[in-house]
Amino acid sequence: MPNIAPSRTSVLSLEYFPPRDIAAQERLVRSAKRLAALNPAYVSVTFGAGGSTRAGTVDTVQMLRNLGTDVAPHLSCIGATRDDLRVILDDYRDRGIRRLVALRGDLPSGMGGDTGDLHYASELVRFIREQYGDAFHIEVAAYPEMHPQAESADRDLQYFVQKVQAGADAAITQYFFNPDAYFDFVDRALAKGVDIPITPGIMPITNYTQLARFSSMCGSEIPRWVRLRLQDFGDDKASIRAFGMDVITRLCARLLENGAPGLHFYTLNHADAVVQIAENLNLS
């Protein structure tokens, strides 16, 4: 297991999602309190497409802020009018929130053709900048292995560049397991004049079935050797977890050793795996 010294310039951040019931809310509070000990620069809270969890996002943001954490709500433009977005952004500004994760979002089933006034994340970033100036630090998404709906890798990179040109301050990547994909993306973005921090998104490996489902939806490739090893473990949760901790710790170590500005963990509202990885990396 690698053990590296933390970088003074590396930034640790976390993602949570709004809980759907009281038990899930209590679990999130417990996890957030444990993970607060890692001193994350901020935590993000996901946003339901088409309004499915918008109220839950606001409630979760406020709960986490009450725990003393800097919070960056996700904001999706799909299904929202400009007036809808102004109401949300005014509320966040009035609450003292100064960081956002601006996304296009996915079109939920049943919405039909009403996708809202803005159709791309670059339009959302530009709208926020035009309406609110520098009131918010804006994070956007990046896809080292290409967005699953993109026409090509070059077009996908151009869409990313457009978000940066519209006013994004930094980016968080979709999770990946091949560090070369991340470094290649960063190099290609730099060649296009992009100089904002691009923080790698990290998904701990604790459940193979869940991981395979997520990866199929978002286009993240599970390396063949990792997939075969996980399949061999079957229902042996302890072995899956131990192997997963080793794989992700080594991934994070290589990313930090080669200049990644930090790590953004997709926690799935659980603390154990992130805490263990941080300890392995001497980041706790």
Q: Which of 15, 123, 139, 145 does the annotation list as catalytic?
A: 15
Instruction: Give CA–CA dist 26/29, Å, rounded.
Output: 5
- Distances, alpha carbon 64 to alpha carbons 29, 43, 182, in Å: 8, 8, 30
Instruction: Give CA–CA dist 99/64, Å, rounded.
Output: 14
- The torsion angles phi and psi of 107, rounded to 5 degrees, stand at -80, 115
- Burial of 138: CB neighbours in 10 Å, binned 0-12, 13-18, 19+: buried
Between CA 245 and CA 276, with CA 273 as vertex, the angle to 5 degrees is 75
The yes-or-no answer on residue 145 being catalytic is no
Q: What is the CA radius of gyration of the chain?
A: 18
The answer to whether 140 touches 121, Cβ cutoff 8 Å, is yes
As annotated, the active-site residues are: 15
